[in-house]
């Protein structure tokens, strides 16, 4: 997509493993780039100022809040959104665990929560409940009370470790 | 595919769970439109002011602006119980944050820029923020400015009982027996005051609306609202349309908790849309704006009880509900928490006054529990003081006093299917607290102690309102359930699908529950008061039964048997003679050569509901059902710093019948967490000018994963004779007792009563200091 304004810059990045090249305004937030330009609507906006975690995506494997990062800052990086976790539309084990453990209610926090958990598990494949709590402490959920979310992440880790 | 029965009492996965974990659920912010305009709203910086002049001409300097509205452009007033609210402020503003003008433009940036071009001239006037003072009930401040001089002229519902010449938009009274006499005969009388400040729902999805005046003359609105039909009727009245011209579509909701129950900013967006050439106009609120859109009530409560021989014999209470600048449902909150106000106890002498009072603060509305968390905070902390004075273990004291089946309630209702005692017994057993033998606090050294506290609560739903549903079974065997109950995360669509599976034997995977849409799904009053399973559920169950009866009739015709002999098995219709199963499609084909849908209809119609007498609050059947909940909290208190660590909450709820036990536990875990949030952490802070200071998630903290204790949900099932499969509601009751149970555990260790929530370490220390001063002075 082209955007003809003086204050635009070309960025190159991988989004869900697809190479992208776009010229974007310098004040375009990464969240808006993902939602509006690439139609990746799993990225939710709950606060827009980095407080709630609903817009969490992986940037080079690390969970970040995409509402306070500019698209231009993601130049050269690899971004994964919730859409990218489900290869060919098939749910990942982590998504399955969220579903099976009842960790989803209204679902609004869910994409961000799963992305944070995905980032944690990539870094620390056998987290304790305490470590999971600390990792998702930046992701607000008003529905669940978090208990079933923690269970889902623990369960995913357990299944993965059994497989290894 | 192998058949799986997933009916009532089982715990299938949420039917909308897969789209949610895949990130495909569509919330208002995700909907796409051609020619969309974005709205922005200019709000008042003053809590109370006259509007002397508004000049909007400047907005047209901004490229891309398509419409602007002020209060002068829109006639009419709206409101749930009292029609007191203009779509945009007209001659005066009544709270800081009230909409004064709005703009629609081709993008948000243009709309925001245009707001800066609007000139408003205000003249500040005196504001009032304290509900007791606003009610004119403070001895030293009898004269107060009136927010609504024409209060008595407004259209209103019968549940609103305003007091002329005051800021009281409703005064609910309940009178039973003779409290004065009972106080004089009591062993002791205790009088206290409690306070719960304003807090906020904090749905993680901020509010969003899209409105479009369609070319064909209909108004279409997509909004995150819990009550599509209330909205339809309000919009129709405001904009001169008939009901069947207003289409309210509800996409997936990201939480509700009462904040999305009644019309709030929808009329404003419609007013903008009317000024465009049939373009959709979208308003997405920022978090800061969402904090000001609507809030929970703050409340001050005075409570006085008389106890004789270990029994509460009299209770007198007064509550001042801060409903903000406009009534919204304030009168109903005062009333519905009013008739439950004295707590789940059998008390023969009761005198209650609940005032819903206008103040110059943002509009307060329903909040999960409809006032119950506030009143539970007051009467459950108070109950522990009573037990202490009576020298009785607080658990035993409750067991001795709680209301039971067959008792007569404070309004004169003969209670049925009461699970209050069962909830207390369930938590007591789980926590290892023998009635009469409260475990002593455990000394952990360094001034830290571990202790247990208990609290319980009840909640009436609301008077009966109808719900309708249809179940459409298509020839291929797939099913569409049409019902206007909104699934905002509580999981009602899964419950409805389970009911249909139960009645028809059709597997859950073939059942789809529609999103509510007033052009498609039939009438349902509101998704509120924990009424979904009970009322909409009854309608769905009846509709499914009706559909199944039709299938049985076709079966009788085709198999040559009686209709009741036709059974379902593994999703097929069984021929009783041969034992062979026939698919629904084949059956319809054989019976009527196909080409039809089977449409079952259902309504929840309940008889015998009563109102409450205006003077005495008496009424034999004010609510369609009651809910009960009890918690025991295990808490570690550091007596040097006031720091608290809630370790465990045992939480029991009487659900009547768990249609889906996992879903029930989710409601309890979430409800307890919310209760702990508002009781221990959360408070909206306003400056002396009524301006919100902490309208964002870094200054207003809700519980995160590290704040939540282990929650042990316990389901008690005392079936309700009128509930579907015996079910009661559940959503709200678990919110009430959690924080009071914690406060009572802390009191056991500190002996210092905290009156005001939230119970934060600094508040505890403050009370502590005060207590010490009092001790010194005595
Ligand atoms: S929307 Fe990005 S953190 Fe809340
Ligand atoms: S599931 Fe609703 S906010 Fe987490």
Write out residues with Cβ below 6 Å of ligand 1: A 45-48, 50-55, 65, 67
DSSP B304: E
Pairing mode of beta strands B92-93, B49-55: antiparallel
Is B647 an 8 Å CB contact of chain A?
A: no
**Which residue(s) pair with B349 in the sheet?**
B314
Q: What is the pLDDT of residue A1?
A: 43
- Mutation choice for ligand 1 from A54, A64, A70, A81, CB with most ligand atoms inside 8 A: A54
Q: Mean of the pLDDT values across residues B141-150? A: 92
| Cβ–Cβ below 8 Å for B23 and A99 | no
Distance CA B173, CA B243 (A): 35
CA distance B145 to B166: 9
Residue B21 · residue A110 · CB < 8 Å: yes
Q: Are B170 and B330 in contact (CB under 8 A)?
A: yes
Burial (CB count within 10 angstroms: exposed 0-12, middle 13-18, buried 19+), residue B691: middle
Instruction: Indicate the pLDDT class of residue A6, thresholds 50, 70 and 90.
Output: low
Is B242 in contact with B307 (CB distance < 8 Å)? no
Higher pLDDT, B772 or B549: B549
CB atoms within 10 A of CB B563: 16
CA distance B31 to B253: 12
Report the pLDDT value the prediction gives residue B328, as an integer from 0 to 100.
Answer: 95
According to the model, what pLDDT value does residue B775 have?
53
**What residue segments make up the domains of chain A, in order of their start?**
8-84, 93-163
Whether the pLDDT of residue B563 is over 90: the answer is yes
Catalytic residue among B732, B762, B773, B775: B732
Dihedral sign (CA B297, B300, B304, B307):
positive
Q: Please check whether residue B560 is in contact with residue B575, taking contact to mean a CB–CB distance below 8 angstroms.
A: no
Q: In terms of CA atoms, which chain A residue is nearest residue B489? A: A106
| Residues B252 and A107: beta-carbon distance below 8 Å | yes
Give the residue, out of A44, A46, A137, A144, with the most ligand 2 atoms within 8 A of its beta carbon, to mutate for a pocket test: A144
Say yes or no: B167 contacts chain A, CB-CB below 8 A. Answer: no
User: What would the mean pLDDT of B14-27 be, rounded to a whole number?
Assistant: 96
**What ligand is nearest to the CA atom of residue A55?**
1
> Which ligand gives the minimal distance to the CA of A49?
1
**What are chain B's domains?**
17-25+465-604 (3.30.365.10), 31-125+204-255+260-293 (3.90.1170.50), 370-459+618-777 (3.30.365.10)
- Per-chain mean pLDDT for chain B: 95
Residue B408 burial (10 A CB sphere; 0-12, 13-18, 19+):
middle
Contacts within 8 Å (CB) and 24+ apart, A91-95: A91/B18, A91/B21, A91/B22, A92/A118, A93/A156, A93/A159, A93/A160, A94/A118, A94/A121, A94/A152, A94/A153, A94/A156, A95/B21, A95/B22
Confidence of residue A159 (pLDDT cuts 50, 70, 90): very high
CA distances from A142 to A149, B289, B373 (A): 12, 18, 16
Average pLDDT over residues A102-112: 98
**Is the domain defined by A93-163 classed in CATH 3.40.640.10?**
no
Extract the tokens encoding B541.
């169950």
- Is the reported ipTM for this assembly greater than 0.90? yes
From the CA of A103, give the closest atom in ligand 2: 1
For chain B, positions 187-246, list CB contacts with chain A under 8 A.
Answer: 201-206
CB contact under 8 A, B287 and A52: yes
The domain over range A8-84 is classified in CATH as 3.10.20.30: yes
Give the mean model confidence (pLDDT) for residues B476-499. 95
pLDDT of B439 > 70? The answer is: yes
* Mean pLDDT along residues B478-491: 95
Q: Is the pLDDT of residue B630 over 50?
A: yes
Q: What is the pLDDT of residues B570-613, one digit of tens each?
A: 889 999 999 999 999 999 999 988 788 999 999 998 777 788 99
Confirm or reject: Cβ of A141 under 6 Å from ligand 2. yes
Quick count: other Cβ atoms within 10 Å of Cβ B427?
A: 28
Distance, CA of B661 to chain centre: 21
Q: Is the CB of A105 under 6 A from ligand 2?
A: yes
- Structure confidence at residue B141 (pLDDT): 80
Instruction: Give the residue among B326, B331, B334 at the shortest CA–CA distance from B363.
Output: B326
Mean pLDDT of B511-535: 92
Tell me what the mean pLDDT of segment B345-363 comes to. 98
Known catalytic membership, residue B732: yes
Average of per-residue pLDDT across A45-70 = 98
pLDDT higher than threshold 80 for residue A11:
yes
**Residue A89, burial from CB neighbour count under 10 angstroms (0-12, 13-18, 19+):** exposed
Q: Are B103 and B115 in contact (CB under 8 A)?
A: yes
- Between chain A and chain B, the number of residue pairs with CB atoms below 8 A apart is 160
Query: Which of the four pLDDT bands, split at 50, 70 and 90, describes residue B3?
Result: confident
Indicate the pLDDT class of residue A3, thresholds 50, 70 and 90.
Answer: very low
| Confidence tier at B104 by pLDDT (50, 70, 90) | very high
Residues 6+ apart with CB under 8 A from A48: A31, A67, B286, B287
How far is the C-alpha of A105 from the C-alpha of A143, rounded, in Å? 6
What pLDDT is attached to residue B608? Answer: 72
Q: Does pLDDT of B756 surpass 50? A: yes
Q: Taking residues B680-695, what's their average pLDDT?
A: 98
Residue B773 has pLDDT above 70, yes or no: no
Pairing of strands B710-716, B644-654: parallel
pLDDT above 50 for B84: yes
The mean per-residue pLDDT over the stretch B752-765 comes to 87
Q: Has residue B126 got a pLDDT over 50?
A: yes
Instruction: Specify the DSSP element, H or E, that contains B355.
Output: strand B349-358
Bridge-based pairing state of the strands A18-25 and A62-65: unpaired
A143 lines ligand 2 (CB under 6 A): yes
For residue range B710-722, what is the model confidence (pLDDT) as tens digits? 999 999 999 999 9
Residue A110 Cα, ligand 2 centroid: separation in angstroms?
Answer: 6
Q: Which residues of A touch B204 (CB under 8 A)?
A: 44, 46, 52, 54, 106, 108-109, 140-142
Residue A145 with chain B: CB contacts under 8 Å: 669-670, 672-673, 703, 708, 711
Which residue does chain B place closest to A113, by CA atoms?
Answer: B21
Residues of A in contact with B18 (CB under 8 A): 91, 99
CB contact under 8 A, B23 and A100: no
**What is the tens place of the pLDDT at every residue in B537-546?**
999 999 999 9
Please report which residue ranges of B353-444 form alpha helices under DSSP H. Answer: 372-390, 394-401, 420-431
Contact A47 B697 (CB under 8 A): yes
Quickly count: other Cβ atoms within 10 Å of residue B139's Cβ: 5
Residue of B nearest to A96 (CA): B21
Instruction: Please identify among residues 24-43 of chain B the ones whose CB lies closer than 8 Å to any CB of chain A.
Output: 24-27, 29-30
Ligand 2 centroid from CA B598, angstroms: 36
Query: Is there a contact between A134 and B706 if contact means CB atoms under 8 Å apart?
Result: yes
Chain B CB contacts of A116 under 8 Å are none
| Residues contacting residue B534 through CB under 8 Å, at least 6 positions apart | B461, B604, B624, B625, B720, B723, B724, B727, B728, B729
Ligand 1 center–CA B574 separation, angstroms:
54
The residue-averaged pLDDT of B310-335 equals 97
User: Is residue B778 over pLDDT 50?
Assistant: no
Q: List, as ranges, residues 680-709 from B with C-beta within 8 Å of A.
A: 696-698, 702-706, 708
pLDDT higher than 60, residue A4: no
Q: What pLDDT is stored for residue B774 in this prediction?
A: 53
Q: Nearest CA to CA, how far is B658 from chain A (Å)? A: 16
User: Distance between CA B148 and CA B167 in Å, rounded?
Assistant: 7
**Which residues are B712's β-sheet partners?**
B650
Of all protein residues, whose CA lies closest to atom 2 belonging to ligand 2? A106
Rounded average pLDDT over B386-412 = 97
* pLDDT tens per residue across span B613-623: 999 999 998 89
pLDDT range class, residue B697, cuts 50, 70, 90:
very high
The DSSP element (H or E) to which B300 belongs, if any, is strand B298-308
Q: Report pLDDT digits (tens) over A118-146.
A: 999 999 999 999 999 999 999 999 999 99
Q: Rounded mean pLDDT of B424-451?
A: 96
User: B378, B616, B585: which is closest to B475 by C-alpha?
Assistant: B585
């Amino acid at each position: 997509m082209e955007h003809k304004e003086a204050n635009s810059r070309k960025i190159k990045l991988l989004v869900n493993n697809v190479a992208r090249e776009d010229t974007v305004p310098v004040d375009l937030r990464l969240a808006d780039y993902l939602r509006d330009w690439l139609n990746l609507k799993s990225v939710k906006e709950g606060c827009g100022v980095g407080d709630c975690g609903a817009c969490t995506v992986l940037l080079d494997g690390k969970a970040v809040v995409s509402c306070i990062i500019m698209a231009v800052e993601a130049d050269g990086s690899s971004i994964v959104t919730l859409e990218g976790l489900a290869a060919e539309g098939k749910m990942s084990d982590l998504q399955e665990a969220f579903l099976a453990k009842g960790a989803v209610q209204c679902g609004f926090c869910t994409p961000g929560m799963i992305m944070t958990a995905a980032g944690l598990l990539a870094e620390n494949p056998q987290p304790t409940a305490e470590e999971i709590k600390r990792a998702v402490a930046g992701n607000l959920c008003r529905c669940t009370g978090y208990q079933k979310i923690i269970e889902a992440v623990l369960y995913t880790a357990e299944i993965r470790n059994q497989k290894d | 595919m192998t058949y799986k029965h997933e009916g009532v009492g089982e715990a299938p996965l949420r039917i909308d769970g897969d789209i949610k974990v895949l990130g495909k659920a569509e919330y208002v912010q995700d909907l796409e439109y051609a020619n969309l305009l974005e709205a922005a709203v200019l709000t008042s910086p003053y809590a109370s002011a006259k509007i002397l002049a508004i000049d909007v001409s400047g907005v047209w300097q901004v490229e891309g602006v398509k419409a602007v509205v002020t209060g002068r452009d829109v006639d009419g007033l709206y409101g749930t119980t009292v029609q007191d609210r203009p779509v945009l402020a007209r001659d005066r503003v009544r709270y800081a944050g009230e909409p004064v003008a709005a703009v629609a433009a081709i993008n948000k940036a243009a709309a925001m820029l245009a707001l800066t071009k609007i000139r408003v001239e205000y003249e500040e006037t005196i504001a009032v923020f304290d509900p007791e003072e606003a009610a004119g009930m403070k001895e030293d401040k009898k004269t107060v400015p009136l927010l609504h001089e024409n209060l008595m002229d407004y259209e209103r519902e019968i549940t609103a009982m305003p007091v002329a010449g005051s800021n009281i938009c409703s005064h609910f009274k309940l009178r039973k027996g003779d409290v004065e006499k009972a106080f004089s005969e009591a062993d002791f009388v205790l009088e206290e005051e409690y306070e719960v400040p304003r807090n906020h729902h904090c749905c993680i999805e901020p509010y969003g609306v899209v409105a479009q005046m369609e070319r064909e003359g209909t108004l279409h609105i997509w909004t995150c609202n819990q009550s599509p039909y209330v909205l339809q009727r309000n919009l129709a009245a405001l904009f001169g349309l008939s009901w069947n011209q207003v289409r309210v579509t509800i996409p997936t909701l990201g939480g509700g908790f009462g904040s999305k129950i009644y019309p709030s900013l929808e009329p404003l967006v419609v007013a903008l849309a009317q000024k465009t050439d049939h373009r959709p106009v979208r308003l997405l609120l920022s978090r800061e704006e969402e904090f000001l859109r609507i809030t929970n009530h703050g409340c001050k409560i005075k409570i006085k009880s008389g106890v004789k021989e270990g029994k509460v014999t009299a209770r007198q209470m007064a509550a001042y509900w801060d409903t903000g600048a406009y009534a919204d449902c304030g009168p109903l909150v005062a009333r519905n928490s009013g008739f439950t106000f004295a707590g789940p106890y059998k008390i023969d002498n009761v005198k209650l006054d609940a005032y819903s009072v206008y103040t110059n603060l943002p509009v307060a509305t329903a909040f999960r529990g409809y006032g119950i968390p506030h009143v539970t905070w007051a009467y459950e902390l108070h109950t522990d003081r009573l037990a202490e004075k009576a020298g009785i273990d607080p658990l035993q004291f409750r067991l001795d006093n709680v209301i039971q089946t067959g008792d007569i309630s404070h309004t004169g209702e003969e209670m049925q299917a009461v699970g209050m005692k069962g909830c207390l017994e369930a938590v007591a057993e789980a926590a290892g607290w023998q009635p009469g033998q409260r475990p002593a606090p455990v000394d952990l050294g360094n001034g830290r102690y571990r202790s247990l506290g208990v609290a319980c609560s009840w909640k009436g739903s609301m008077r009966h309102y109808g719900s309708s549903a249809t179940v459409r079974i298509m020839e291929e065997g797939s099913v569409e359930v049409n019902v206007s109950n909104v699934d905002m995360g509580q999981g009602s669509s899964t419950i409805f699908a389970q009911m249909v599976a139960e009645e028809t034997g059709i597997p859950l995977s073939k059942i789809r529950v529609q999103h509510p849409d007033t052009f498609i799904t039939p009438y349902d009053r509101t998704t509120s008061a924990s009424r979904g399973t009970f009322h909409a559920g009854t309608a769905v169950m009846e509709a499914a039964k009706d559909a199944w009866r039709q299938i049985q009739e076709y079966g009788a015709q085709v198999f040559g048997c009686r209709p009741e002999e036709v059974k379902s098995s593994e999703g097929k219709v069984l021929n009783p003679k041969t034992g062979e199963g026939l698919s629904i499609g084949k059956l319809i084909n054989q019976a009527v050569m196909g080409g039809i849908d089977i449409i079952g209809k259902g309504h929840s119609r309940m008889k015998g509901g009563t109102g409450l007498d205006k003077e005495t609050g008496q009424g034999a059947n004010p609510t369609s059902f009651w809910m009960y909940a009890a918690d025991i909290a295990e808490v570690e208190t550091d007596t040097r710093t006031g720091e608290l660590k809630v370790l465990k909450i045992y939480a029991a709820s009487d659900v009547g019948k768990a249609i889906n036990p996992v879903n029930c536990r989710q409601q309890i875990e979430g409800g307890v967490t919310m209760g702990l949030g508002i009781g221990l952490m959360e408070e909206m802070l306003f400056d002396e000018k009524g301006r919100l200071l902490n309208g964002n998630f870094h200054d207003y903290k809700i519980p995160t994963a590290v704040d939540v204790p282990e929650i042990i949900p316990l389901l008690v099932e005392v079936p309700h004779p009128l509930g579907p499969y015996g079910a009661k509601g559940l959503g709200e009751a678990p919110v009430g007792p959690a924080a009071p149970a914690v406060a009572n555990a802390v009191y056991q260790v500190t002996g210092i009563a905290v009156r005001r929530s939230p119970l934060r370490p600094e508040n505890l220390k403050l009370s502590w200091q005060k207590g010490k001063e009092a001790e010194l002075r005595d």
